[in-house]
Amino acid sequence: MEVQHCFILEKSGKFLLFYLEGTTVMGALTIKDIAKICGVSVTTVSRALNNYPGINQETKDKIMEVVREKQFIPNNSARNLKKLENHSIAVLVKGVGNPFFQPMIATLEKFVHKQKYTFILQSVNDNEDEIEVASQLSLEKKPKGIVFLGGYFKHTEAKLRQLDLPCVICAVGSIDEKSSNVCSSVHVDDIRESYRIVDYLCKAGHKRIAIFAATREDKSISALRLEGYRRALADNGLPVCEELIRYSNEGENIYSMERGYHDMKKLLKERDDFTAIYAISDNMAMGICRALKEAGKRIPDDYSVAGFDGLDMSSYYIPTITTVKQPVREMAEAAAEILFDTIENGRGVQHRTFEGEMLIRESSRAIN
Amino acid sequence: MEVQHCFILEKSGKFLLFYLEGTTVMGALTIKDIAKICGVSVTTVSRALNNYPGINQETKDKIMEVVREKQFIPNNSARNLKKLENHSIAVLVKGVGNPFFQPMIATLEKFVHKQKYTFILQSVNDNEDEIEVASQLSLEKKPKGIVFLGGYFKHTEAKLRQLDLPCVICAVGSIDEKSSNVCSSVHVDDIRESYRIVDYLCKAGHKRIAIFAATREDKSISALRLEGYRRALADNGLPVCEELIRYSNEGENIYSMERGYHDMKKLLKERDDFTAIYAISDNMAMGICRALKEAGKRIPDDYSVAGFDGLDMSSYYIPTITTVKQPVREMAEAAAEILFDTIENGRGVQHRTFEGEMLIRESSRAIN
């Protein structure tokens, strides 16, 4: 196969691509120039580039050095470089280790690459302000847009406006009305979905339901899911027992199996006046199941357990976990679509609420 | 608190940072200039920037517009901008959805940010050539170094040299001798670790052990772990039954729970002449457990199950999974350390082999 040669020029951060077939482009380097610099024939350069036999190793090394030095890149890679502008999308994740975000990150990454954009991932620590992280990143890398995954999102409209970039907030509890004029969002209705699963437990005869929430101070999804819990109990004529609301400590890996496991052990030592445990993440629910199993309790015979999220894993666990499934892949796709719609078509802010799916599985049962 | 004001200048892709306290830096804009442009006092600009009350909304909007337009960014964010050069590290992952890579990605991401570099994540599809993906990325984003996670790594030395960037290959089966002159690596010895767990099963009395491997054509970690399996059987005087080697189909999500689940169902229909199943990933092992449970089989009474990787999750599963734990966080840290050692100190290629840890847990038992 004959090889087309090309040359890349960098100009103010953008790359210009020239295909050279013998002709010289002003200021660019052809295969002839490389031959001249190395004092060899064009054929020899071509042989070196294509890794053909019959060429002296020393000559080849010399040619390759010049090629590298001048940033001349041969054929295949170059062919793919149609859209070489410096475009990127940044995804900021609060809780990058949380498996809930994993299919979202994978979906976003694929979508972004299909659009020939670079994918920048940045985790935001619990004590960091995502907008400040975004501002800094925006200065450094000039992404064309940002997706925020998770976290707490109550920033002033002015602060959001200062970012001055298309943004989509995904799987974040809620944003206030003013912020929603600036940022698009994709989420489930956490109050409603949480209500749904607690209402199911109530109607299944459970009158004492423990809930594993985030910290007492949380103002994000945990607060909303807790609100759903309270409303469902109230509508079913059940009192809220504050001792059955289990908050996490600051700094714990709040939504993890580990936390569910340790806090369940603690709860079992403290009291036994409940028949069901609702964790606001499947991860915690699985940790809770493990703690119950180690304490010799049977699920769902002794205790019903319910989670939230619908992680793939929750359908392979023994027992399978009763949960509300969030359509994470669809949500991530929607976030990416909205973002590109804004970047490329100038579309304004959009908000999409997805419906969760209630999955009643092995970990829970009716007791009435 | 008095606020320090600063100004950012972009110059050939790099940012220069000036702290301004009343003084004018040549060519830069001070808070005074902004006040002049807007026809207001310095105090008013300061009030607007700090979101203080007692300022007319219209004036504030006008000031903020000028600020945005001139890319003047106030205090907090700017303080963090000490190292604003355009440095980034790229991580290329083959199998971005695999939970095995998740703590590695999280660890790398944190390490990279601590060094004030940008973290670029890129997934590589199974049918893509990671070096071509890296070449393209390298042209577009000019990362200072690359970490490759997973995949098949048999590239010619010349091809690797052409990348001309510090590279670390992490959790990839093995690299050939010549490649190892160009790229650093961090891994476990897959043959030895696989041997270890199969040897344990043999010594526990299992004479017919099924193995769930990747595709028949695989030349990467699956081939190595299969080799460990064959050697362990041989050393224990056991014949290899080719029908008990279960390969995956092309295009399946090879290391997933789903695959373990479906292929176990199939295996149970075909034959029952085995007492143990060894899956080359914990994910598969958990899917296998689920399939056994649905078929009414007891673990480990009817079948012993073993995995590989030591995912956190495998210790919360019911039953907990016997496995070989790879020290993923330490491996990712080592990969990052080696990379920065090369980038910042010019250190040469380094190779580190980590030891796995054998974890005998509930999913397996001795039958002799």
Is A162 at the interface with chain B, CB within 8 A? yes
Write down the pLDDT at residue B36: 78
Decide if A163 touches B, using CB distance below 8 A. no
Domain locations in chain A as residue ranges: 5-79, 88-188+328-354, 190-326
- Residue bearing the bigger pLDDT, B318 or A46: B318
Q: Strands B145-149, B5-11: parallel, antiparallel or unpaired by DSSP?
A: unpaired
Q: What pLDDT is recorded for position B104? A: 93
Contact A121 B123 (CB under 8 A): no
Question: What span, in angstroms and rounded, lies between the C-alpha atoms of A221 and B146?
Answer: 36
A73 vs B: CB within 8 A: yes
User: Does the distance separating the beta carbons of B109 and A121 come in below 8 Å?
Assistant: yes
Structure tokens at B85: 């050069």
- Taking a C-beta distance cutoff of 8 angstroms, is the pair B5, B21 a contact? yes
Q: Does B215 touch chain A (CB under 8 A)?
A: no
Task: Please say if the pLDDT value at position A105 is more than 50.
Answer: yes
The answer to whether the CB atoms of A132 and B162 lie below 8 A apart is no
How many Å lie between the alpha carbon of A142 and the closest alpha carbon of chain B?
10
Is residue A167 helix, strand or coil? Answer: strand
Of B316, B328, B362, which to mutate for an interface test with A (greatest number of A Cβ within 10 Å)? Answer: B316
Tell me how far CA of residue B295 lies from CA of B114, B259, B282, B316, B319, in angstroms. 49, 16, 20, 22, 16
Structure tokens at B271: 């034959």
Three-state DSSP class for B170?
Answer: strand
Backbone angles phi, psi at A240, to 5 degrees: -90, 125
- Tell me which chain B residues have a C-beta less than 8 angstroms from the C-beta of A16: none
Phi-psi region for residue B65, left (φ > 0), alpha (ψ -120 to 50) or beta?
A: alpha
Q: Any CB–CB contact under 8 A between B75 and chain A? A: no
Structure confidence at residue A167 (pLDDT): 94
Residue A175: its pLDDT value, please?
A: 66
SS3 category, B279: strand
Q: How far apart are CA A339 and CA A349, in angstroms?
A: 9
CATH superfamily assigned to domain B190-326: Response regulator (3.40.50.2300)
The number of residues making up chain B comes to 368
In whole angstroms, give the CA distance from residue B336 to residue B351. Answer: 13
The nearest alpha carbon in chain A to B329 belongs to A97
The C-alpha atoms of residue B99 and residue A166 are separated, in whole angstroms, by 30
pLDDT at B4 over 90: no
The closest alpha carbon to A107, from A330, A343, A352, belongs to A330
Q: Is A118's Cβ below 8 Å from some Cβ in B? A: yes
pLDDT in tens, A63-92: 877 766 665 544 333 433 333 456 899 999
Whole-number CA gyration radius for chain B: 28
Convert the pLDDT of each residue in B225-278 to its tens digit: 999 999 999 999 999 999 999 999 877 788 999 999 999 999 999 999 999 999
pLDDT band at B328 (very low <50, low <70, confident <90, very high): very high
Is A289 in contact with B318 (CB distance < 8 Å)? yes
Is the minimum CB–CB distance between B312 and chain A shorter than 8 Å? yes
User: Which residue in chain B is spatially nearest to A290 when comparing CA positions?
Assistant: B316
Burial of B266 (0-12, 13-18, 19+ CB in 10 A): exposed
State the angle between helix axes of B31-38 and B42-49 in degrees (0 to 180), rounded to the nearest 10. 100
Asked if A5-79 and A88-188+328-354 have one fold, the answer is: no
Q: Chain A contact for B286, CB < 8 A?
A: yes
Contact call for A139 and B15, based on CB within 8 A: yes
Give the pair of three-digit tokens for residue A33: 């120039």
Collect all residues with Cβ–Cβ distance below 8 Å to B150 and sequence separation of at least 6: B93, B94, B95, B98, B101, B171, B172
Contact in structure between B120 and B90 (CB atoms under 8 Å): yes
Determine the average pLDDT of the residues in B86-113.
Answer: 88
Element (H, E) at B67: helix B57-69
C-alpha A94/C-alpha A150 separation (Å) is: 5
Q: Indicate the Cα dihedral angle A160, A161, A167, A170, nearest 10°.
A: 30
Cα A189 to Cα A150, A174, A339, B1, B72, distances in angstroms: 14, 8, 21, 40, 38
Within 10 angstroms of residue B63's Cβ, the number of other Cβ atoms is: 23
pLDDT of the residue at B275: 98
- Nearest by CB: B122 against A99, A103, A119: A119
pLDDT at B313 over 90: yes
Alpha-carbon Rg for chain A, nearest whole angstrom, is 28
B96: closest chain A residue by CA: A106
Does the domain formed by B88-189+328-355 have CATH 3.30.110.70? no
CB contact burial A60-99 (16+ within 10 A = b; e otherwise): bebbbebbeeeebbbeebbeebeebebbbbbbbbbbbbbb
Pairing of strands A14-20, A5-11: antiparallel
Question: SS3 of B253, please?
Answer: coil
| Interface-testing mutation among B92, B136, B140, B265, with chain A (most A C-beta atoms within 10 A) | B140
Task: Tell me how far apart the alpha carbons of residues A347 and A342 are, in angstroms, rounded to a whole number.
Answer: 4
Mutate to test the interface with B, among A108, A118, A261 (most CBs of B within 10 A): A118
Q: How many CA atoms lie within 13 A of B137 on its CB side?
A: 29
- Chain mean position to CA A210: 29
Q: What is the mean pLDDT of chain A?
A: 83
Range with the poorest average pLDDT among A119-123, A287-291, A292-296, B205-209: A119-123
Min CA distance, B296 vs chain A (Å)? 12
Look at residue B60 in the predicted model and tell me its pLDDT: 81
Chain B partners of A96 at a C-beta cutoff of 8 Å?
A: 105-106, 109
Is pLDDT at A336 greater than 60 in this prediction?
A: yes
Would you list the DSSP string of A190-245? HHHHHHHHHHHHHHTT---EEEE-S-TT--SHHHHHHHHHHHHHHHTT----GGGE
Whether the CB of A76 is below 8 Å from some CB of chain B: the reply is yes
Condensed to tens digits (0 to 9), the pLDDT of residues B39-75 reads 888 788 777 776 677 788 888 888 877 776 665 544 3
User: Does residue A354 sit at the B interface (CB-CB below 8 Å)?
Assistant: no
Give the pLDDT of residue A19.
32
Chain B residue at shortest CA distance from A159? B51
Alpha-carbon distance B120 to nearest alpha carbon in chain A (angstroms): 4
DSSP state of A173: S
* CB contact (8 A) between residue A106 and residue B122: no
Q: Check CB contact of B195 with chain A, cutoff 8 Å.
A: no
Nearest CA of chain B to the CA of A328: how many Å? 13
State the Cα–Cα distance between residues A78 and A71, nearest whole angstrom.
Answer: 11
The alpha-helical segments, DSSP class H, found in B236-362 are 257-270, 282-294, 328-345
CB–CB contact A105 B96 (8 Å) = yes
Q: What is the pLDDT of residues B138-161, one digit of tens each?
A: 887 789 999 999 876 677 787 888
Mean pLDDT of A34-60: 78
Least Cα separation, residue B281 to chain A (angstroms): 14
pLDDT at B8: 34
B13 band by pLDDT with thresholds 50, 70 and 90: very low
- Model confidence at A6, pLDDT cuts 50, 70, 90, reads very low
Give the tens place of pLDDT for each residue, A177-226: 777 888 999 999 999 999 999 999 999 999 999 999 999 988 889 999 99
Query: What is the spatial distance between Cα A273 and Cα B38, in angstroms, rounded to a whole number?
Result: 66
Percentage of chain B beyond pLDDT 70 is: 84
Q: What is the pLDDT of residues A225-234, one digit of tens each?
A: 999 999 999 9
* % of chain B surpassing 90 pLDDT: 54
The partner residue sitting opposite A102, judged by closest CB among B97, B110, B118, is B97
For residue B3, name the pLDDT band (cuts at 50, 70, 90).
Answer: very low
Q: Which two tokens stand for residue A148?
A: 């925020």
Confidence bin at B195 (pLDDT 50/70/90):
very high
The complex scores an ipTM of 0.75
Cross-chain Cβ contact B80/A261 below 8 Å: no
> Which of A123, A135, A312 lies at the smallest CB-CB distance from B257?
A312
The number of angstroms, rounded, from the C-alpha of A275 to the middle of its chain's C-alpha atoms is 34
Domain A88-188+328-354 falls under CATH 3.90.180.10 = no
Cα nearest neighbour of A71 on chain B: B139
Measure the CA–CA gap between B166 and B146, rounded to whole angstroms.
6
Does the CB of A295 have a partner CB in chain B at under 8 Å?
Answer: no
Instruction: Output the pLDDT for position B46.
Output: 73
Domain A5-79, classified CATH 1.20.1560.10, yes or no: no
Q: What's the pLDDT score for residue B16? A: 29
Contacts of residue B56, defined as CB under 8 A and 6 or more positions apart, other chains included, come to none
- Confidence (pLDDT) at B9: 32
3-class DSSP assignment, residue B221: helix
Geometric angle at alpha carbon A315, from A313 and A321, rounded to 5°: 100
Find out whether the peptide bond into B300 is cis, omega within 30 degrees of 0.
yes
Q: What is the pLDDT of residues A87-104, one digit of tens each?
A: 899 999 987 778 899 889
